[in-house]
A = this chain, B = another copy of it.
């Protein structure tokens, strides 16, 4: 049986809708999914008991999906089963995103549970390479996307953002800790005449079992406000939430969405 450790955002709900059997939905206090019934709520201080409970219920696989912030830990609330995990939890709370996820996944794996990625159990969260929108990228826009891939790769070396905006070969904006939509919002006051492409891709070395970058209808709206002409995502590396609405919004607003294969 599969247990879903669900966080906030649209991903957990979209994942469940794609599964033939409903998973056991677990959610950490403070970061529960908005539109999904939670079977097992748990505070971070009871993580050890959650793992034991899942094992006792016959769960063999878990999937982390959705956004989870870093909770405050109340030492007085830590239960006996969680006590041995405190060093790992502390390490997770002070690591970068990828380090934190690896630490938490290690806790489940050490208990004999298999960690599976959302896109592994629901492959159609990812889109095939190609351009499903009416608008199609021009050669110059594909060149900007390749430049974007180069920039994201360089940023990954320093473990910062997974997205950037490129126009005529030059970086107009680079994603920071505030995320893609904030970056696009900052271009609302851009000093030039508009244009450009959003490029988004995972870090080359990130653990793909959790935290693949995502786009959704909000991203399309933010890209329009930023004056961009289209979105380019790396095939196999970016989850598209509400795919039909994303494509419909692109078509309504005249943007292209291009899913770039490795040779694009």
Contact = CB atoms under 8 A, between A and B. Distances in A.
Interface of A: 150-151, 153-155, 157-158, 160-161, 165, 170-174, 176-178, 182, 185-186, 189-192
24 contacts: A151-B160, A153-B158, A154-B155, A154-B157, A154-B158, A154-B160, A155-B155, A155-B158, A155-B174, A157-B157, A160-B170, A160-B174, A171-B176, A171-B177, A172-B176, A172-B177, A172-B178, A173-B176, A174-B176, A178-B190, A178-B192, A182-B191, A185-B189, A186-B186
Among A151, A157, A158, A170: residue with most chain B CB under 10 A: A158
Contacts of A186: 186, 189
Nearest to A147: B158
A212 B165 CA distance: 25
Given A154-B157, A154-B160, A155-B155, 9 more contacts: A151-B160, A154-B155, A154-B158, A155-B158, A158-B171, A161-B171, A171-B177, A172-B177, A174-B174
A158 B185 CA distance: 23
A170 B177 contact: yes
Nearest to A148: B158
Contacts of A173: 176
Most chain B Cβ neighbours within 10 Å, of A153, A157, A176, A177: A176
Contacts of A189: 185-186
A152 to B, nearest CB: 9
A161 to B, nearest CB: 7
